[in-house]
Amino acid sequence: MGTGRCTYKNLSEFIQRLEADGELLRVKDVVDPILHITEIADRMSKLPNGGKALLFENVVGSRFPLLINGFGSAKRMALALGVDDVEEIKEQVEKLLNIAPPESLADKMKMLPVLFEMAKFPPKKSGGFAPCQEVVCEGDDVDLSILPALKCWPEDAGRFITFPLVFTKSLSGVTNLGMYRMQIFNKNETGMHWHIHKDGAHQFHEYRKAGKRMEVAVCIGSDPVVTYAATAPLPRGVDELLLAGLIRKKPVTLAKCKTVDLFVPADAEFVLEGYVDPSESLRTEGPFGDHTGYYSLASDYPVFHVTAVTHRKTPTYFTTIVGKPPMEDCYMAHATARIFLPMLQKVLPEVKDYDLPWEGVFHNCVITAVEKEFPAGAQRVMNAMWGTGQMSFAKMILAVDEDTDVTDYKTVLKTFLNNFDASEDIFLSQGVLDVLDHSAPKPLRGSKLGLDATARLPMEADRKFPVLSDVDEDAIGRECRSHGIKSFSVIGAECKNRIVVCSIDKKRAGEAFEKGGNLLSGIAGGMANILVIVDGDIDPSDHSVVAWKFFNNTDPKRDITVRGDRVIVDATRKLPGEGHKREWPDEIEMDDETKKSVDGIWAALRHGASGGQPQHGAATR
């Protein structure tokens, strides 16, 4: 890895580096954390290459500055991790995983430098002065209103801490670091939104079974590597601070908390200490505008009771927002995908690469390049991925050949349309889904879609393709209008399979499949064989938004119908009579009043960020 890796002692040093590299804008205007900061940060994240990081120096109601969009570009993500490119960390992980077991004394001697280097990485505890405890407030002096926490979106239930580093410890003493949003209920209580599949929730269940109170410590703002490590999909029981040490090339220094038996990074900006009590009733938390671009619905979660707040004398509040992609979290997810590819390849060596498109909001779509050695090899890989770690939450997987660039979406789409046999290459599975998947009839589980676009092997039967005539968009338009379809777009007019995307104002259950069937049985069905139906407010020619709707709104088993070589996909919002009894969440949208109020300072900020056209993504509609 070399010796030139940049490391930061604290968040301030990272801010200095961002400014030195022209990646930071200081906002001196007085800005409200209620919606306004979100609107500015959202606009910034949609600029080319993620715009700039924003340091708000005058936040209404707080004396502390606020940093946001600090990880919101490929360059800033690399800067945060102290490298020129996150591929450097991937290569380091790959080398560590590929160390062969020593078979001789000579082999053992060769391993000593590696073992000696790794021995430097575990976190170290310090009994001395801790900058994160320059100011200490305990008991009645605790007041979370000092934090410039954001209310991100209009329908959010309140103000949320969105970038918390949550430290917990199992009954056996294993430390976990996770990131779980926290709704501020009052001066000393928040929600603790750990999803049922997360390690923090697993430890909470341990304490509940034992009838014991669980201590928690929460840091806000730290060395950016530690913040990133809190989001990493490590196996249960693996210390996230060890990963941070590996990336930083030096250990994280820890300080003992004041009121709980936990250790936290000594150079953190803020620390909230306290506990959750499993014997207490859960409290309603949410809704919250989430990374899917929809609101996650209100639900019941444990309450975090804050017994102490400590912080630096001049701390900076580090936060983020999520919503319609692309946003800051997209760059974090891309870094994770690259860094953890070698670990997936250890389990599935046939996987040569993979990509998580923004429109798939991380867990709804995976494109994987597969080295296929035998019939059904791609299906085997997809089934194995659905049983492996965080990949088990993936709803849809598209397999392509190993020489396909999985990040070249135009080529991937063309490959799919030219290699797809609807009678052979689409298959469904069942399994666990991310808690934020709103399309499945039941929460946390549902159907999964596999698409095989790999080349056929000699021992596999040749694909069968539909017989299609040349596309006549005027004819398709006339037929669409006759069936009450508002607008349409043709994708892949020169390919063996073709897609027509149609928008409709659906008023009754089953209308999407009815209109789709009518269209495919007519003239349009002679020119295209795949029909995707979206709601009437969607522009079918905005293929990024269409993909985002498809991944978010489709339960494969319920919403995809295959009729020979014809396919109909219902990607509309589901009505009560369509087999979806759960509440359907609202799409995130900022209110007009906030948009208008931000217009006054946006021109100057955009100019400072070098402007340009918005980058491609679901939120650019």
Is residue 612's pLDDT more than 60?
A: no
Residue type at 499 in one-letter notation? I
Same domain, 261 and 341: no
Highest average pLDDT, of 48-52, 103-107, 155-159, 598-602, comes from 155-159
Mean pLDDT score, 426-441: 92
At residue 542, the 3 state secondary structure works out as coil
Q: Alpha-carbon distance 528 to 531, whole Å?
A: 8
Residue 3 pLDDT: 42
Model confidence band, residue 1 (pLDDT cutoffs 50, 70, 90): very low
> 284, 318, 352: which is the final residue of a domain?
318
Is residue 478's pLDDT more than 70?
A: yes
Other beta carbons within 10 Å of 333: 20
Model confidence band, residue 107 (pLDDT cutoffs 50, 70, 90): low
Q: Alpha-carbon distance 502 to 525, whole Å?
A: 13
Same domain, 477 and 362: no
Question: Which domain CATH number covers 267?
Answer: 2.30.110.10
Residue 115 pLDDT: 46
Residue 415 pLDDT: 97
Return the structure tokens found at 243.
């990963």
Same domain, 391 and 530: no
Same domain, 349 and 489: no
Same domain, 425 and 501: no
Q: State pLDDT tens for residues 237-280.
A: 788 998 899 898 889 999 999 999 999 999 999 999 999 999 99
Question: Which domain CATH number covers 399?
Answer: 3.40.1670.10
- Say if 581 falls within a structural domain: no
| DSSP secondary structure, 585-611, as one string | PPBP---HHHHHHHHHHHHHHHHHTT-
Q: Are 399 and 454 in contact (CB under 8 A)?
A: yes
The residue that leads in pLDDT, 489 or 91, is 489
**Distant-in-sequence, close-in-space partners of 72: CB < 8 Å, separation ≥ 6:** 44, 45, 50, 51, 53, 327, 328, 331
Same domain, 288 and 193: yes
Other beta carbons within 10 Å of 159: 21
- Whether omega before 302 lies within 30 degrees of 0, making that bond cis, reads no
- Catalytic choice (199, 239, 290, 353): 290
Return the structure tokens found at 190.
């928040």
Model confidence band, residue 609 (pLDDT cutoffs 50, 70, 90): confident
- Say if 301 falls within a structural domain: yes
> 398, 421, 452: which is the final residue of a domain?
452
* Count helices and strands in the chain by DSSP H and E runs: 16, 30
Q: What are phi and psi of 279, to 5 degrees?
A: -80, -15
Residue 618 pLDDT: 56
Q: What are phi and psi of 307, to 5 degrees?
A: -100, -20
Is residue 118's pLDDT more than 60?
A: no
Q: State pLDDT tens for residues 293-323.
A: 999 999 999 999 999 999 999 999 999 999 9
Which DSSP state fits 39?
A: H
Is residue 231's pLDDT more than 70?
A: yes
- Say if 1 falls within a structural domain: no
Return the structure tokens found at 562.
């295959």
| Percentage of the chain lying above the pLDDT 90 cut | 79
- Say if 621 falls within a structural domain: no
Q: How distant, in Å, are the alpha carbons of 106, 111, 113, 402, 571 from that of 103?
A: 8, 11, 17, 33, 56
The residue that leads in pLDDT, 107 or 132, is 132
Q: State pLDDT tens for residues 16-46.
A: 999 999 999 999 999 999 999 999 999 999 9
Q: Alpha-carbon distance 602 to 36, whole Å?
A: 11
| Lowest mean pLDDT, pick from 234-248, 464-478, 537-551 | 234-248
Is residue 617's pLDDT more than 70?
A: no
Helix intervals (H) in 399-542: 409-419, 473-482, 511-520
Residue 111 pLDDT: 47
Is residue 230's pLDDT more than 50?
A: yes
- Say if 81 falls within a structural domain: yes
Is residue 141's pLDDT more than 90?
A: yes
Is residue 487's pLDDT more than 90?
A: yes
Same domain, 282 and 430: no
Q: Are 527 and 468 in contact (CB under 8 A)?
A: yes
- Say if 401 falls within a structural domain: yes
Instruction: Give the DSSP H or E segment for 331.
Output: helix 328-347
Is residue 619's pLDDT more than 60?
A: no
Same domain, 519 and 432: no
Mean pLDDT score, 414-425: 95
Same domain, 310 and 332: no
> 318, 342, 358: which is the final residue of a domain?
318
Q: Alpha-carbon distance 570 to 554, whole Å?
A: 7
Is residue 232's pLDDT more than 50?
A: yes
Is residue 614's pLDDT more than 70?
A: no
- Say if 576 falls within a structural domain: no
| Lowest mean pLDDT, pick from 125-129, 323-327, 479-483, 545-549 | 125-129
Same domain, 179 and 249: yes
Q: What are phi and psi of 346, to 5 degrees?
A: -65, -35
Q: State pLDDT tens for residues 564-602.
A: 899 999 999 999 889 899 999 999 999 999 999 999 889
How much is the mean pLDDT over the chain? 91
Residue 127 pLDDT: 78
Same domain, 271 and 146: yes
At residue 98, the 3 state secondary structure works out as coil
Query: What domain count does the chain have?
Result: 3
- Say if 96 falls within a structural domain: no
290 catalytic? Reply is yes
Question: Across-strand partners of 562?
Answer: 567
**Residue 445 belongs to domain spanning:** 328-452
Same domain, 225 and 366: no
